[in-house]
Amino acid sequence: MRRMTDKKTLILFSIIYVVVFAVMNMLVFFVFNEKNNVFWISYGFMCAAFVIQIVSMFLAVKALEVEAVFFGIPLVSISLFYFFAAVFISAVFMIFQNAPVKLAIALQVIVLAVYLVIAVIALMARDTVQDVNDNIKVSVVAIRSMQADVETLKAQAQDPALKEKLRKLSETIRYSDPMSNDAVTDIEGRIMQALNELRIFCENGQNADAAKKCGEIEVLFLQRNNLLKATK
């Protein structure tokens, strides 16, 4: 359903751009009878502004959770600023066609270069933040999966003392830092191994060993959380 909505939105935007581009071309060629090098250079930059605007809109609204921004200004807004600036400059030089060719080119190139630099920075920042968000999601899923496994073992446990141990362990996991980094990779590996051993003890009815393993896992989580705090 989301793909269909995005597709319809893209089609509607494309229709709008085609209509606006057609109307602008009609106005340009109806209004200006004389056309020299300055006119054609300005017209070329105006057309390029349309293409760049379409590409910018596509990149800015790409299916990511993080919006591309530059100093708090969305890339979509910045691309519109560039578009109107480029079209305005083109219109001015179409009117004053006796202006120097170098001046017409220089102004358009400067505006375009500034926009491209801003757009690249905004997209790079967006992708970096998105990667961080993706890593957080993976870590949160891993923590919740561990807690769900312990909750399942608790529900299956018959021994009251073991049930209490598993409850405490579940709470420890629940309130553990969901973030992760290379510094805690080794400890997290040991936690996963210990959880597998805990599951085996519970399935085999080794309640004493399972209760002891719960304590060991809690210590590992404590070490992990402290190390995360120290390395942030």
Are β-strands 69-70 and 73-74 bridged in parallel, bridged antiparallel, or unpaired?
Answer: antiparallel
| pLDDT of amino acid 70 | 44
Q: Is the pLDDT of residue 164 over 70?
A: yes
User: pLDDT, tens digit, for every residue of 201-227?
Assistant: 888 888 888 889 888 988 888 888 888
C-alpha 229: how far from its chain's center? 25
Q: Which of 21-35, 134-148, 218-232 has the lowest mean pLDDT?
A: 134-148
Cα distances (angstroms) measured from residue 105 to each of 14, 36, 51, 90, 96? 28, 14, 18, 10, 14
Single out the residue of 54, 53, 50, 40 nearest to residue 10, CA to CA: 54
d(CA 126, CA 1): 25
SS3 state of residue 70: strand
Average pLDDT of the segment spanning 103-110? 90
- Say what the pTM is: 0.54
The dihedral through the CA atoms of 98, 101, 103, 106 has a sign that is positive
| pLDDT of amino acid 132 | 65
Q: Is the pLDDT of residue 68 over 60?
A: no
Average pLDDT of the segment spanning 153-159? 85
Average pLDDT of the segment spanning 14-26? 84
Sketch the domain layout of the chain as residue ranges. Answer: 2-134, 157-231
Decide which of 45 and 182 is more confident: 45
Question: pLDDT over 90 for what percent of the chain?
Answer: 4
Percent composition of the chain: helix, strand, coil (DSSP 3-state, to 5): 85, 0, 15
Question: pLDDT over 70 for what percent of the chain?
Answer: 82
| pLDDT of amino acid 158 | 84
Q: Is the pLDDT of residue 200 over 70?
A: yes
Decide which of 2 and 37 is more confident: 37
User: pLDDT, tens digit, for every residue of 43-64?
Assistant: 999 888 888 888 777 776 654 4
Q: Phi/psi zone of residue 205: left (φ > 0), alpha (ψ -120 to 50 degrees), beta?
A: left
